[in-house]
Amino acid sequence: MGTDMYALVKEQAGPGLKLARKPRPEPGPGEVLIKIRKTAICGTDLHIYNWDAWSQKNIKPPLTIGHEYVGEIAALGAGVLGYTLGERVSGEGHIVCGHCRNCRAGNGQWCKDTKGVGVNRDGAFAQYLCIPACNVVPISDAFDEDIVAFFDAYGNATHTALMYDVVGEDVLITGAGPIGVMAAAICRQNGARSVIVTDLNDYRLAMARRMGATDTVNVGREKLEDAMHRAKMVEGFDVGLEMSGSGAALSQMLSLMRNGGKIAMLGILAAGAQVDWNEIIFKGLTLTGIYGRRMFETWYKMGTMLEAGLDLSPLITHRYHFTEFEKGFAAMNSGESGKVILDWSEEA
Ligand code: NAD
Ligand code: ZN
Kindly report, residue by residue over 261-295, the tens digit of the pLDDT.
999 999 999 989 999 999 999 999 999 999 999 99
Residue 189 burial by CB count (10 A; 0-12/13-18/19+): exposed, middle or buried? middle
Tens-place pLDDT, residues 235-269? 999 999 999 999 999 999 999 999 999 999 999 99
Distance, CA 177 to ligand 1 centroid (Å)?
A: 6
Q: Give the ligand at the shortest distance from the Cα of 250.
A: 1
What are the phi and psi torsion angles at 180 (to 5°)?
A: -60, -40
179 lines ligand 1 (CB under 6 A): yes
Query: Which residue's C-alpha comes closest to atom 25 of ligand 1?
Result: 43
Q: How far apart are CA 254 and CA 306, in angstroms?
A: 32
CB count within 10 Å of CB 20 equals 15
Tens-place pLDDT, residues 10-44? 999 999 999 999 999 999 999 999 999 999 999 99
Q: Which atom of ligand 1 is nearest to the CA of 291?
A: 40
Q: Identify whether the C-beta of residue 148 lies closer than 8 Å to the C-beta of residue 90.
A: yes
Kindly write down the DSSP assignment for every residue of 150-182, as one continuous string: THHHHHHHHHHHTSS--TT-EEEEE--SHHHHH
64 is catalytic: no
198 is catalytic: no
Q: Which atom of ligand 1 is nearest to the CA of 181?
A: 26
Q: Identify whether the C-beta of residue 217 lies closer than 8 Å to the C-beta of residue 208.
A: no
Q: Which atom of ligand 1 is nearest to the CA of 269?
A: 32
Tens-place pLDDT, residues 85-143? 999 999 999 999 999 999 999 999 999 999 999 999 999 999 999 999 999 999 999 99
Q: How far apart are CA 64 and CA 122, in angstroms?
A: 5
The confidence score (pLDDT) of residue 169 equals: 98
Residues with CB under 5 Å of ion ligand 2 are: 96-97, 100, 103, 111
Distance, CA 243 to ligand 1 centroid (Å)?
A: 5
Distance, CA 110 to ligand 2 centroid (Å)?
A: 7
Predicted confidence band of residue 2 (pLDDT cuts 50, 70, 90): low
Query: Which residue's C-alpha comes closest to atom 36 of ligand 1?
Result: 267
Mean pLDDT, residues 196-224:
98
Q: How far apart are CA 328 and CA 341, in angstroms?
A: 8
Query: Which residue's C-alpha comes closest to atom 35 of ligand 1?
Result: 267
Q: Which of 2-6, 80-84, 158-162 has the lowest mean pLDDT?
A: 2-6
